Structure 1
Amino acid sequence: MTTGEDAPAKVNLSLHVTGRRADGYHLLDSLVVFTSAGDRLDMAAGTGLRISGPEASGLSAGPDNLVTRAAALMGMQEIGLHLSKALPVASGIGGGSADAAAALRLLARTCGKPLPPMADILALGADVPVCLAGRHCRMQGIGEVLDPLPPLPPVWLVLVNPRVQISTPQVFRTLPCRDNAPMQATLPQWRDTPAFAAWLRDQRNDLESPARALAPVISQVLRVLAAQPECALARMSGSGATCFGFFATEMAASLAAQAVQASHPDWWVRATGILPHRSDQLTRATT
């Protein structure tokens, strides 16, 4: 039995904000994929959380850390955990949520503990349920309704974060319209990568415009990505500020990442593929 869990980056290829509940939670309709880039959480000697890695600077291991909160939710506050942090903090690709989900999976598996109720998992963050499932899906509701996707064609992404952090609540407060159209009721079968890219170009990230207003550098990132050869789509993920370029081949993505990093050495840049399709049943989570 392994004593660790990967915490893959979550990318919202589309993110439609379709309403807001009476309690203030926003309703979403999002196409979510997971990538080979991500963090890693391992069991460790001693007690408490230790953090290392290239993105560990400034990240607290205290009670507010989502890994610490997830361990507390499992009743395992004193267990030793080591987080290797490779994803930027507060970057719109689910880093903290993926870490919390990895903690829940790891402690449930190694300690024989049942997972908490979905309402408690959602209290950690709207992205934690989808990160807990850890597979490509359509995410709806406030993040708790997850439906599987058919096998996806090959996709490579270039992830770029300009090293700015954006407050998700502030992005939602700046959103001009909260009752936008969802994706179509039945998603198509994408025959190949160009067809998938063409369909995605007709979708949206409704949080992109308010995020760009709060952090204009996002517009620059999108322009730089869109200018790369063979980039089929440039869009922001989540509430930002990480953006992605969509490519049909690994070589094109790799060359684009090298070019972006060379021209903007202060940005965080990664070329990555999406994880292989998982055919096991995806449970439809509800509160």
Structure 2
Amino acid sequence: MSLREAAPAKVNLFLHVTGQRADGYHLLDSLAVFGPAADELRGESATGLSLRVKGPFAAALAGEADNLVLRAAHALAERGGVSPRAALTLVKRLPVASGIGGGSADAAAALRLLNRAWGLSLDEAELREIALPLGADIPVCLASRPARMGGVGEVITEAPRLPPCGLLLVNPGVTLPTPVVFRARTGGFSHPASLPAAWPNAAAMAAELAHLSNDLEAPAVALRPPIGEVLSALRTLPGCLLARMSGSGATCFGLFATADKARAACASLPATWWREGGALTG
């Protein structure tokens, strides 16, 4: 066995907090897309289960005994009735605790890779059943395609057809745990968005998304002011159609008409910021 799976960044083009359950979890409405940056998971044959982490952001996960990748592997093995055997290597290229679902994407990649490696042949619906108890974002990351997210993130429906466009991801180098942002949020709840079946081009999509919001952006900026600096920088870039924070932060995105324009804009930003430009996966 020698397998590889990409774990693309999940980006929330908008995120409305629509309510709160009795158990404290918040209800959301969001449009999730993927790309252009990704972690990578590699798997080799082995007599037991192990995980090695390397890459630019590996240090942030050092000493983490209960990595979400390993939890996903054990859950899949239990469901499939097999012994968990694989030597896994996670190449961590996405910032940790940054609002782009890196850990969830890694766990989803583990489920896809090991489902093949162990010959389980579980379909996407079955993998979602395994994924949900591990984390609300993992089911949408399994397919890594645009989707509308509801509930606490587990209700996944079809997204509008997206036009070709470019996406620039930028993180100022700060971490921001999701629970902290939710606790800092004030005010009422937003209504779910009304979206069309499709957008004719990137400009039309950006114009409509501009009327929506990320309800976590204001508290995140208050907690981590560098997020505001990134948003200001994105909004001044030539060709940037929309700038917004993704998820609970601190990563922000800029939407562009083409992938080439997103890559060109990327080069003009401070080298001290993590940034990646390319195509939005449609």
> Normalising by the residue count of structure 2, what TM-score does the alignment of the two structures yield?
0.90
Structure 2 residue 184 is the aligned partner of structure 1 residue 181? no
Residue 148 of structure 1 deviates from its aligned partner by: 1.5
Root-mean-square deviation (CA), in Å? Answer: 1.9
Query: For 1:180 and 1:142, how far apart are their aligned partners in 2?
Result: 14
Q: What code does the residue aligned with 2:275 have?
A: V
- Asked whether the equivalents of residues 93 and 237 of structure 1 are also in contact (C-alpha less than 8 Å), the reply is yes
Q: What code does the residue aligned with 1:53 have?
A: G
Query: For 1:234 and 1:241, how far apart are their aligned partners in 2?
Result: 13
Q: What code does the residue aligned with 1:23 have?
A: D
Query: For 1:24 and 1:239, how far apart are their aligned partners in 2?
Result: 17
1:241 alignment partner, one of 250, 265, 268 = 250
1:99 alignment partner, one of 106, 123, 139 = 106
Deviation readout 1:65-110 (Å, 9 max, x if unpaired) = 1111111212355521111111111111111110000001111122
- Asked whether the equivalents of residues 48 and 77 of structure 1 are also in contact (C-alpha less than 8 Å), the reply is no
Deviation readout 1:107-149 (Å, 9 max, x if unpaired) = 1122133476756522322211110121101111111111122
Query: For 2:225 and 2:51, how far apart are their aligned partners in 1?
Result: 35
Q: What code does the residue aligned with 1:251 have?
A: D
Q: The residue matched to 2:156 in structure 1 has which SS?
A: strand
Equivalent runs, 1:1-40 vs 2, <5 Å: 3-40=3-40
Q: Higher mean Cα deviation, 202-211 or 148-157?
A: 148-157
Q: The residue matched to 1:72 in structure 2 has which SS?
A: helix
- Structure 2's unaligned 5+ residue stretches are 78-82
Structure 2 residue 179 is the aligned partner of structure 1 residue 169? yes
2:54 alignment partner, one of 48, 52, 55 = 52
Query: For 1:61 and 1:125, how far apart are their aligned partners in 2?
Result: 21
Deviation readout 1:178-205 (Å, 9 max, x if unpaired) = 5211101x53421111111101111110
> Normalising by the residue count of structure 1, what TM-score does the alignment of the two structures yield?
0.89
Q: The residue matched to 1:36 in structure 2 has which SS?
A: strand
Query: For 1:129 and 1:188, how far apart are their aligned partners in 2?
Result: 22
2:69 alignment partner, one of 63, 67, 70 = 67
Q: What code does the residue aligned with 2:225 have?
A: P
Deviation readout 1:130-179 (Å, 9 max, x if unpaired) = 10121101111111111122431111111100110001001011111352
Equivalence for 1:141: 151
